[in-house]
A and B are shown apart, each in its own frame.
Chain A
Amino acid sequence: MFVLVLLGACAKPITHTEIRFAIAQAPLTLDPRYATDAASERVNRLLYRPLVDFDAHSRAVPALARWQQTDALHYRFTLGKNGRRFHDDEQLTANDVAATYRSLLALKDSPHSAEFANIASVETQDTNTVEFTLRQSDKQFPARLIIGILPAKLIAQNHDFAKQPIGSGAFKLVEWKRTLKLARVADQQQIIMEEVRDPTVRVLKLLRGEVDLLQGDLPPELVAYLKQQKYIHVLESFGSNYSYLGFNLQDPQLKNPLIRQAVALSINRDVIIKHALVGGSRPATAILPPEHWAGNSDLQPIHYDPQRAKVLLQQAGVTLPLKLIYKTSTDAQRVRLATIMQAQMRPSGIDLEIRSLDWGTFFEDIKQGHFQLYGLTWVGIKTPEIYRLAFHSASVPPKGANRGHVQDAELDALIDRADWPAVTARIHAQLPVVPLWYEGQFAAMRSTLSGYKPAADGNWDSLESVINKGDK
């Protein structure tokens, strides 16, 4: 205690010019060819520039390059003028684009290689033009080219981009040891990303001024607490990450649509959104939100109706209570939501048993089909191809993410025709999953920061514009 008192006497006020950002999970890799976790993808968006990005409606728009479909199997990309300087001061050319995508095709341990298997060849026309030849026609092809471009010279040298990234993004790496230190190319403003896993500790660090900013991954009561704090500014916005409850359609009971409908009617989303989720959360009807170009605003949210749910279960001929097992991760918020749903389902005659498992075991169970019900969230989804990945009968694991083993020839045909309004309507009617909500996004920051706002998919792009107005 005496030592602590002495230390306290020596304590200095916290002052820093860099912007400190507390993140729940550090990125695993800074090589965009390998990144799959949310943190890596978000940081890589800052370090690298892709050929294509998305607008507010998730339509593919030019980033580094404009494109032209020259015929069914050929796309020509022409590089623009902006963002063409790598952090090592080399010019970004078509050769770098070709090298990046060729390396993706050649890599055997990249999680993204399979997405580009349809590319037959990548050829440069000149320093600004690159042509992609496809094996099969793909109207969504430009929307797939969101991998950050790497320097060809360094690819050839097997440069370790995972730890020493060289991109042409708005930020460059300064250092990655215990924290990830980035510098904004435009004004050298430093951003320090520090992994702080515990949500309470993140909040305490923000309150003490050890960090200036945090985004997402907090339970609603901590967000509400932060809103009451004098020097903390909380911004909330709509989110687009889709939470759902998945069914195993191989289960003898759950393959009956009446039972799935009963489960859907047994969940009071409005109450959960109001009391157990952060502001900006809203009920979901499909994976892609209504504002997405392939969203379907005609779909009606499913309303809580335990009486009707009970009637449906009786019509289905089940003996009440219907016992179901719900699997989720050990994340405290996920377990809490599961507990609320468990209570909500009881009046309908559903006895929900919750099994919370460590992430690896949980996800393995889901992929292996060892479940009746599970809860998950699709994060950062931009293209309607997600419907093929999640519901097409050819996408049953390990070939995709049709974890519920949906086998619906009509749905397959609609997906193959890319008739997205019909696809979403069919899924809404058949309920292979129960749509729950799009969880809201928020950012909490010291009042010395300005210019930051949370993005719908939780990305950190706003760091490009954030300003530190002064020390605390």
Chain B
Amino acid sequence: MLLKRLFAVFPVVFGVLQLTFLFVHLVPGDPVEVMLGESATSADRTQLRADLGLDQPLPTQFANYLGKLAKGDFGRSIHNHNEISSVLAERIPATAKLALLALAMALLIGLPLGIVAALYHLRWPDRAATLTSLTISAMPHFWLGPLLMLVFALWLGWLPVSGMESGSSIFLPALTLACGLAAILTRMTRASLLETLNEDFVRTARAKGLPERLVVLRHALKPALLPVVTVIGLQLGSLLAGAVITETVFGWEGVGRLLVESIEKRDYPVTQACVLVIALTYVLVNLATDLAYGQLDPRVRRAE
């Protein structure tokens, strides 16, 4: 089963590669023009286009690209000639660190809030948690980020505004990312737990005289978290894929920022490599989520 799913990854990634290659080359803007400027002669343009292999037909360029990729060669940046694999080796851990910390923060905030909201259904803790999660989820990252900077960096002076130079630099971008995810988790946990608390097996547990704490934690919470796991998987995929806006606002040198910069410069090989990494991340995280789902819910295992 696992092998079958792993094999299913290849056509998805191949499809992504094709589409990315096509779209990147269809977008207006020419790296040769960006590099040579407006004073260059036609001969120089032609020469550079040939040197970069951009004079070849698109299918030939794609075949060459796939050939190199098969050998693990992402190529070099058109602009600074850096090896893309080395750049990615620096950027992927930075994004992963940020995503995992954001996820941990979101879980720490979102799950307890969701549980409290469900247990105090329609009472003030529920209303407060719902209002807070709705307010936070309505804030775009490009606005929430500077707001957190203002509070934690400028007014309180606790954390650096941006950058990556100190160890504490990661907290504000991670918190920015975590807020949105925590809001989703709060609402998902609340809704799912409310539904589970009305199930027959929970009623049975209560009828057996178990304390409410045990009913919730031992019987209701685990099945209630199943849809939450799916959401976590999907959200982790997008976090690992590079939080484009947050990384740009906070000067965090991750995959998201690299992608934006490469698109601006029409640096085709870098854009393609970033999209490939993002696609692979999504596919693998979703696969891991599916597998975790099976472990959490015996019915899913049996169905498989």
Whether A associates with B in a native complex is yes
In the complex, the answer to whether A360 meets B80 with C-beta atoms within 8 Å is: no
Of the candidates A7, A194, A397, the one whose C-beta lies within 8 Å of that of B163 is: A194
For A196, the chain B residues whose CB sits under 8 A away are 162-163, 251
26 contacting pairs across A/B (C-beta < 8 A): A4-B159, A4-B171, A5-B158, A7-B171, A8-B156, A8-B157, A8-B159, A28-B265, A109-B47, A110-B36, A111-B35, A111-B37, A113-B40, A114-B41, A162-B81, A196-B163, A204-B149, A208-B154, A210-B160, A360-B29, A360-B263, A360-B265, A363-B33, A365-B28, A398-B40, A399-B41
In the complex, the answer to whether B44 meets A114 with C-beta atoms within 8 Å is: yes
For the complex, is A11 an interface residue (Cβ under 8 Å from B)?
Answer: yes
Of the candidates B40, B158, B163, B253, the one whose C-beta lies within 8 Å of that of A111 is: B40
In the complex, the answer to whether B168 meets A109 with C-beta atoms within 8 Å is: no
For the complex, is A188 an interface residue (Cβ under 8 Å from B)?
Answer: no
For the complex, is A183 an interface residue (Cβ under 8 Å from B)?
Answer: no
Q: How far is the CA of A323 from the CA of B253 in the complex (A)?
A: 43
Chain A residues 103-134 with CB under 8 Å of chain B are: 108-115, 117
- Count class of interface residues, chain A: 35 or more
For B229, the chain A residues whose CB sits under 8 A away are none
Chain B residues 142-180 with CB under 8 Å of chain A are: 142, 146, 149-150, 152-154, 156-165, 168, 171, 175
In the complex, the answer to whether B39 meets A400 with C-beta atoms within 8 Å is: yes
Of the candidates B35, B164, B168, B266, the one whose C-beta lies within 8 Å of that of A178 is: B164
For B250, the chain A residues whose CB sits under 8 A away are 201
Smallest Cβ distance from B10 to chain A, in angstroms?
32
Q: How far is the CA of A204 from the CA of B162 in the complex (A)?
A: 9
Q: How far is the CA of A36 from the CA of B165 in the complex (A)?
A: 29
For the complex, is B63 an interface residue (Cβ under 8 Å from A)?
Answer: no
For A400, the chain B residues whose CB sits under 8 A away are 38-39
Of the candidates B27, B142, B153, the one whose C-beta lies within 8 Å of that of A361 is: B27
In the complex, the answer to whether B29 meets A197 with C-beta atoms within 8 Å is: no
Q: Give the total of B residues in contact with A, Cβ under 8 Å.
A: 51
For the complex, is A401 an interface residue (Cβ under 8 Å from B)?
Answer: yes
For B146, the chain A residues whose CB sits under 8 A away are 198, 200-201, 204
For B153, the chain A residues whose CB sits under 8 A away are 204, 208
Of the candidates B44, B264, B265, the one whose C-beta lies within 8 Å of that of A113 is: B44
1/0 contact trace for B226-251 toward A, CB 8 Å? 00000000000000000000001111
Q: How far is the CA of A194 from the CA of B162 in the complex (A)?
A: 10
Q: Which chain B residue lies CB-closest to A192? A: B165
Of the candidates A7, A110, A360, the one whose C-beta lies within 8 Å of that of B266 is: A360
For the complex, is A409 an interface residue (Cβ under 8 Å from B)?
Answer: no
Binding site for B on A (CB under 8 A): 3-5, 7-8, 11, 28-29, 36, 108-115, 117, 162-163, 178-179, 194-198, 200-201, 204-205, 207-208, 210, 358-361, 363-365, 367-368, 389, 397-401
For A359, the chain B residues whose CB sits under 8 A away are 264
Smallest Cβ distance from B140 to chain A, in angstroms?
13
For B44, the chain A residues whose CB sits under 8 A away are 108-109, 113-114
In the complex, the answer to whether A198 meets B79 with C-beta atoms within 8 Å is: no
Given known contacts A108-B51, A109-B48, A361-B27, A389 and B80 CB-to-CB distance under 8 angstroms: no
Q: How far is the CA of A5 from the CA of B27 in the complex (A)?
A: 47
In the complex, the answer to whether B48 meets A397 with C-beta atoms within 8 Å is: no
Binding site for A on B (CB under 8 A): 27-30, 33-42, 44-45, 47-48, 51, 79-81, 142, 146, 149-150, 152-154, 156-165, 168, 171, 175, 248-251, 253, 263-266
Q: Which chain B residue lies CB-closest to A205? A: B161
Given known contacts A108-B48, A198-B146, A401-B38, A208 and B251 CB-to-CB distance under 8 angstroms: no
Q: Which chain A residue lies CB-closest to B159? A: A7
Known: A201-B249, A360-B27. 17 other contacts (CB 8 A): A4-B152, A7-B158, A114-B40, A115-B39, A179-B165, A194-B251, A195-B251, A201-B161, A204-B149, A204-B153, A207-B154, A358-B263, A360-B263, A361-B28, A363-B29, A364-B29, A367-B33
In the complex, the answer to whether A109 meets B29 with C-beta atoms within 8 Å is: no
Smallest Cβ distance from B247 to chain A, in angstroms?
10
Q: How far is the CA of A205 from the CA of B153 in the complex (A)?
A: 9
Smallest Cβ distance from B58 to chain A, in angstroms?
18
- 3 nearest A-B pairs in the assembled complex, by CB-CB distance: A8-B158, A360-B29, A111-B37
Q: Which chain B residue lies CB-closest to A6? A: B158
For A112, the chain B residues whose CB sits under 8 A away are 39
Q: How far is the CA of A211 from the CA of B26 in the complex (A)?
A: 40
For B264, the chain A residues whose CB sits under 8 A away are 358-360
Q: How far is the CA of A397 from the CA of B158 in the complex (A)?
A: 53
Q: How far is the CA of A8 from the CA of B158 in the complex (A)?
A: 4
Q: How far is the CA of A29 from the CA of B80 in the complex (A)?
A: 7
Q: How far is the CA of A108 from the CA of B49 in the complex (A)?
A: 11
For A178, the chain B residues whose CB sits under 8 A away are 163-165, 253
For A397, the chain B residues whose CB sits under 8 A away are 38
In the complex, the answer to whether A162 meets B80 with C-beta atoms within 8 Å is: yes
Smallest Cβ distance from A7 to chain B, in angstroms?
5
Smallest Cβ distance from A449 to chain B, in angstroms?
19
Q: How far is the CA of A7 from the CA of B81 in the complex (A)?
A: 40
Of the candidates B80, B158, B162, B248, the one whose C-beta lies within 8 Å of that of A4 is: B158
Smallest Cβ distance from B70 to chain A, in angstroms?
28
Q: How far is the CA of A136 from the CA of B159 in the complex (A)?
A: 61
Q: How far is the CA of A368 from the CA of B160 in the complex (A)?
A: 44
Smallest Cβ distance from B153 to chain A, in angstroms?
6
Smallest Cβ distance from A199 to chain B, in angstroms?
10
